[in-house]
C-alpha cells in the first residue's frame, strides 16, 4: 500500500534530518513536489491522498541522493537567481544569492549600451542577468570549461538573450584580447577558496560542485590576481573591473589593484549580510 502524501512528507523530513539537512522540512516538501510533479498548493491539498507508485519511487531516489548531500539544486535541476529561473547541474556551481551584489554593482556603473564581459560565467547567471536588465548592452560570457559554457548557452536561450551574448571558451580574459581595450567593464565571480580550505566546506560543495569553480589556489587569489593584470588590455580608460571575493579577502584584493598602476580607484561593496563582497576598481 502506497503512503499518503502527509506520511511521505513525514518520512522524508525524518530521513533528511537524520542526514544533517538543516531545512529538512522545506526540502522534503520540495523534493516531493518534484517527484509527484505538482506545485505546493496541490501538494498541501492532497495530504491525505495516496501517492502514485511512480512518485513514491522517484521520491525515494531523490531522498537517497539528498541524504548523500547532493545539492538540492542539482536534484530539482534549477536555481533562482536575480528572479530568473536557471537550469543547473553538476557542470556548474550553484548560483548564490550573494552574487547578486555583483550584478547590482555592475548595473549601477553601466550605461544602457555598455560593453561588458562576465569572466568565469559558469551557469551564465551574471551575464544573463545583465543582458536582461540592459537590453541595449553587448555582453560576452567567458569560461575555460566547455561544459559550463553549454549550460550557460542553454540558460541564455531559455531567457531569450542568447543572441545578445557572445560565448567564448578560454582562460580568464585571454579570449577577449582580440577586442582590444574596448569594454566598459569586466565582471567576475572567480574561484576564490584557498585550496587548503576546500576540505572544510559543506559536503554539498566539497563533494559535488565542480572543484574547478571553487579552488582559487594556495591563498584563494591566484585567478583574481591574474585577471587584475589582464584587465587593462580589454577594458577602456574609465571602465571597471568588478570582482566577487570571499569573506575577508577584500583588503588583499584591493591591495592587488592598488599595486597595478592602471587603476585609478578601488572600493569595497558589502552584501546584504554586511560582508565585503565586491571589489570595484576603476581604470585610469
**For 196-234, how does the pLDDT look when each residue is reduced to its tens digit (9 = 90+)?**
999 999 999 999 999 999 999 999 999 999 999 999 999
52 and 180 in a single domain? The answer is no
Residue 21 lies in a domain: yes
Residue where one domain finishes, among candidates 18, 50, 68? 68
Res 2: pLDDT? 79
90 and 49 co-located in one domain? no
| Same domain, yes or no: 62 and 140 | no
Gap between the Cα atoms of 33 and 27, Å rounded: 10
The low-confidence residues of the chain, meaning pLDDT below 50, are: none
In this structure, what are the phi and psi dihedrals at residue 274, rounded to the nearest 5 degrees? 80, 10
Domain of residue 210 covers 78-283
Phi, psi of 110 (to 5 degrees): -110, 135
- Are 264 and 137 found together in one domain? yes
Q: Tell me if residue 269 falls in helix, strand or coil.
A: strand
Q: How much is the pLDDT for 42?
A: 87
Say if 186 falls within a structural domain. yes
Query: Are residues 92 and 231 both part of a single domain?
Result: yes
Structural domain includes residue 73: no
Residues 38 and 120 in one domain: no
Do 88 and 49 share a structural domain?
no
Per-residue model confidence as pLDDT tens digits over 50-89: 888 999 999 999 999 999 999 999 999 999 999 999 999 9
SS3 of 190, please? coil
Q: In whole angstroms, give the CA distance from residue 198 to residue 110.
A: 34
* pLDDT at residue number 1: 63
| pTM, two decimal places | 0.92
Cα angle at 117 between 262 and 155, to 5 degrees? 160
- State whether 238 and 123 are in the same domain: yes
- Cα distances from 59 to residues 26, 31, 45, in angstroms, run 14, 7, 18
State how many domains the chain has.
2
Amino acid at each position: 500500500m502506497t503512503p499518503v502524501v502527509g506520511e511521505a512528507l513525514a518520512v522524508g523530513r525524518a530521513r533528511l534530518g537524520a542526514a544533517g539537512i538543516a531545512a529538512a522540512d522545506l526540502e522534503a516538501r520540495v523534493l516531493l513536489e518534484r517527484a509527484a510533479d505538482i506545485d505546493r498548493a496541490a501538494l498541501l491539498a492532497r495530504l491525505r491522498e495516496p501517492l502514485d507508485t511512480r512518485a513514491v519511487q522517484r521520491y525515494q531516489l531523490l531522498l537517497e541522493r539528498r541524504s548523500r548531500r547532493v545539492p538540492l539544486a542539482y536534484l530539482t535541476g534549477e536555481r533562482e537567481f536575480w528572479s530568473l529561473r536557471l537550469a543547473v547541474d553538476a557542470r556548474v556551481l550553484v548560483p548564490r544569492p550573494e552574487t547578486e551584489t555583483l550584478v547590482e554593482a555592475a548595473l549601477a556603473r553601466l550605461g544602457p549600451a555598455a560593453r561588458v564581459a562576465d569572466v568565469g560565467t559558469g551557469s551564465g547567471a551574471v551575464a544573463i542577468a545583465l543582458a536582461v536588465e540592459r537590453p541595449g548592452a553587448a555582453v560576452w560570457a567567458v569560461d575555460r570549461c566547455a561544459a559550463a559554457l553549454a549550460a550557460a548557452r542553454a540558460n541564455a536561450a531559455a531567457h531569450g538573450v542568447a543572441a545578445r551574448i557572445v560565448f567564448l571558451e578560454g582562460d580568464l580574459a585571454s579570449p577577449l584580447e582580440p577586442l582590444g581595450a574596448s569594454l566598459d567593464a569586466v565582471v567576475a565571480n572567480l574561484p576564490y577558496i584557498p585550496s587548503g580550505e576546500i576540505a572544510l566546506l559543506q559536503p554539498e560543495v566539497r563533494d559535488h560542485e565542480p572543484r574547478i569553480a571553487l579552488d582559487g589556489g594556495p591563498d584563494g587569489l591566484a585567478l583574481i590576481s591574474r585577471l587584475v593584470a589582464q584587465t587593462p588590455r580589454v577594458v577602456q580608460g574609465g571602465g571597471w573591473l568588478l570582482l566577487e571575493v570571499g569573506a575577508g579577502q577584500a583588503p588583499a584584493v584591493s591591495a592587488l589593484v592598488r599595486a597595478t598602476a592602471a587603476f585609478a580607484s578601488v572600493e569595497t561593496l558589502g552584501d546584504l549580510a554586511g560582508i565585503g563582497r565586491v571589489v570595484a576598481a576603476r581604470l585610469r
